[in-house]
Amino acid sequence: MQTVLLWLFYISSFYAFIPGIITRFFGYRVFRRGTVEGEFALTFDDGPDPVYTPQLLDLLKRYNMKATFFVVGSHAESHPEIIKRIHDEGHLIGIHNYVHKSNWLMRPKTVRMQLKRTDDIIFGITGERPVYYRPPWGIVNLFDFAKNSGYRIILWSSMYGDWRSSVGADKLTHRMRRKLRAGEVMLLHDCGNTMGADVQAPEQMLLALDRVLSEAEREGLRSVRIDEMITHERMSSSMKLSLPKRMAVAVWLLWEKLFHVVFRLKTANPSDPMLHYRLTSYQGQDMVTQDGLRLVKGDEVLELHFDNQKLFDIGRHARNEMQIAIQMIRAVQKDLPTIAQRVLDKPEYRNVKGLYGVTMITRGPEQFGFHLQDLPSGLFASSTRVYLKLLLSVIHPKGQSRLKEGSRRMEPRMLMMPVEVLISRYAPRELRSRRSSVETGLGELSVGSTAKELSS
């Protein structure tokens, strides 16, 4: 008998107690707190309630705050109109089991059935599948960690005993104000019909929440949905740089400023710099572009250089590489017309044959009118390869991982745009006739090339 009890103890510990400990104390595979300034998360369990949830939605709308509702499936099934309103007003809906029962007391199959049934109910009302799950009382079992469960477990960083009416609005207000700060995930209840709760307890919660939201508004804090908090958390983490990388970036950007001064680079748009350029003579090997233009040593060209500070800032603050791409495309499309205008207006650019550049990432420049060509082998190609790889590892948001995507794709290549292409595509129509007979040439474009390249 003692052996049986001992085995039952081991099994229950492995199934429930140990998973509970590692989630509460170590946060393993759960989300329970944010760190982004200016926002916290209101989360509500056990609803919807036909009396208190509509009042709560009115309160949130008055303060323009968003929340996450972890609903009990049977309650959602009984009040689909409230679930629809929660969804329509921009709040997030998660699962809190079909019945409010501890996962410790159910087999894995039973838990999965509860999740699926609640999932189907929410989908049938809103047309969207829930992604987030909070088990009742925050109690998890071993199988809640399964990667194929399909749900992200959300716990909390503070709770206040609001399921008991005896706490009262004043004490509840005091407790909530003490925890009103950025990153907090607040656990509250909009229904008192579950075991251990008082039916009228949400009335006191609503009184306290009204006061707390008023204070949050004064302090510049806003409540966001859990999915927003998680997204902002990832963005914030991606923007945090180690001390060595911060030092590397600082040194690199200082070098770029010196480079601009020494080589007298001009800027297409000084108020929002992206493209820099300078007049120089071509010093490479003789070559012929794809459209037949011959370029020989001594021909006048414009070098184009991207502003690496701008690239770095875009990479840090964009949510993903597609946003980087969009911002770079817009910047290039804005600056090339300015350069075309100056080529037409400035007498010193009369003999320029075109734009010339070298880039490490070579997918996308064609959309702007550039041609791509392999660098002649030699010292210049080798040194350029080292330089651009180092630069890419510093300014690109993926850093070194971007360099491991294939040696052929990451080889430096020359970019060329004939002047006639620059004028025909980017100069104002009424000015294009000025250079209708100008020969075409080249110009330099540094790493990053176009926004399309970075997104590829």
Active-site residues, by number, are 45, 189
Fill in the amino acid letter for 111.
V
CA atoms 427, 429, 435, 439: torsion sign: positive
* CB contact at 8 A, 144 and 19: yes
* CB contact at 8 A, 278 and 443: no
Alpha helices in 163-298 (DSSP H): 168-178, 201-218, 226-239, 243-262
Taking residue 276's Cβ as centre, other Cβ atoms within 10 Å add up to 23
Q: What is the DSSP string of 290-312?
A: TTS-EE-TT-EEEEEEE-HHHHH
15: DSSP letter: I
Question: CA dist 150 to 69, 95, 140, 146, 429, Å?
Answer: 18, 12, 15, 8, 56
Exposed, middle or buried, 358 (CB in 10 Å: 0-12/13-18/19+)?
Answer: buried
Whole-angstrom distance, CA of residue 260 vs CA of residue 306: 11
- Residues 6 or more apart whose CB falls under 8 angstroms from that of 301 comprise 279, 280, 281, 282, 295, 352, 353, 354, 355, 356, 441, 442, 443
Structure tokens at 441: 């040439």
Whole-angstrom distance, CA of residue 336 vs CA of residue 423: 10
85: DSSP letter: H
Cis peptide before 80 (omega within 30 of 0): no
Taking residue 81's Cβ as centre, other Cβ atoms within 10 Å add up to 11
